[in-house]
Amino acid sequence: MSERIEADWLAGAPARAVTRMLEEAGHQAWFVGGCVRNALLGAPVSDLDLTTDARPERVMELARAAGLKPVPTGIDHGTVTVVARGTPIEVTTFRCDVETDGRRATVAYSDDIAEDAARRDFTMNALYADARGEVVDPLGTGLADLAAHRLRFIGEAEARIREDYLRILRFFRFHAWYGAPEGGIDADGLAACAGLAEGIEALSRERVGAEMLKLMAAPDPAPAVASMAMSGVLMRVLPGGASDPLSVLVHVEEEAGLAPDPIRRLALVGGEEVAACLRLSRAQEAGLQALRDAMGSGWGSGELGYRLGAGRGLDVLALNAALSGREIDPVSRETMEVGARASLPVKAADLMPRITGPALGEALREIEARWIASGFALGRDALLS
């Protein structure tokens, strides 16, 4: 099976400058991984990765000579980021693993593209394309697996996982994004993830959180998360988390026209100390807590909109609908949107100096409650009377 890719990034000046820099010096230059995989699928490409037989120091030397900017972002592991016309392209020397501890690998440089392919994680990620777009499949399985949307580890799944336990989470994330739902998840890979799930404990929470956020951003992560729960991986990542309601939420989101939102979905999956387990940012943690508090607040749909705004108010309507196994009620959505536009017509100054101190706050809360209960209909005079 032979393939050729055509993409704007491949024909662009930055990619041409870096590949020409290597090839004119007698070195190989192959785009690899996500940019090749996504180009073959017709999916967006965000990062460009090149691999070459040139050693890192040689890449630095060639980049300077070509008027490009080399940055030694991972030079100890063979990676130099070459900036061409403002575009960063990671250039990594062919490698083979010498020793791993489940978190990082000791590597040796190689001149063989097949050795480089054999150390990668999944067959669909071991595809290479030259500067003209010609695709090579050194392992002979990547193109067929990609065409079938079949996610498989390269070689022995357990061996690949022991090299880096993060590959357990990548297995579920890549299945959610690129696997065929009707084909199911790869049984050998799932068994290996289940058997080695304890290795997740050795990973940094930042790496785990980054993978989980990417997984939850998939169009439909529910089947992958269900497999995580079945294999015992989910409890390692989010103790107390539940996968069951997620498929209902995805359906509710689709019906409501909501884009995938990892924080919304994490609010439903739940678990103990989610923010700490995933090392969420402060903004992400605040958003997650706001959703979870509102889900159990008992607020009506109008009050949800008033207190959270239209965006997060709709999130809570979706979450509560998913928990009850139904779609969002159109009337509730309209009422929430009315609340989001409403503004309390009474200010503290309207009550002063007649009321001061702690009583002022209490009076404002009572007025606000009457105003919300009226469906935001009562005006200033009626509220003050």
- Residue-level pLDDT, tens digit, the chain, 385 residues: 579 999 999 999 999 999 999 999 999 999 999 999 999 999 999 999 999 999 999 999 999 999 999 999 988 889 999 999 999 999 999 998 665 655 565 678 999 999 999 999 999 999 999 999 999 999 999 999 999 999 999 999 999 999 999 999 999 999 999 999 888 999 999 999 999 999 999 999 999 999 999 999 999 999 999 999 999 999 999 999 999 999 999 999 999 999 999 999 999 999 999 999 999 999 999 999 999 999 989 999 999 999 999 999 999 999 999 999 999 999 999 999 999 999 999 999 989 888 888 999 999 999 999 999 999 999 999 999 8
**pLDDT value of position 106:** 62
Question: Domains plus CATH for the chain?
Answer: 1-148 (3.30.460.10), 152-237 (1.10.3090.10), 240-342 (no CATH), 345-384 (no CATH)
**pLDDT value of position 105:** 59
Instruction: Specify the pTM.
Output: 0.90
Between CA 328 and CA 342 the distance in angstroms is: 21
Q: Which two tokens stand for residue 142?
A: 């990547």
**pLDDT value of position 76:** 84
Between CA 151 and CA 124 the distance in angstroms is: 7
CB 55 within 8 A of CB 93: yes
Q: Which two tokens stand for residue 215?
A: 């997984």
Nearest to 342 by CA among 364, 322, 372, 367: 372
Output the 3-class SS for 12-80: CHHHHHHHHHHHCCCCCCEEECHHHHHHHHCCCCCCEEEEECCCHHHHHHHHHHCCCEEEEEEHHHCEE
Q: How many CB atoms lie within 10 A of CB 118?
A: 17
Sign of CA dihedral 109, 115, 117, 120: negative
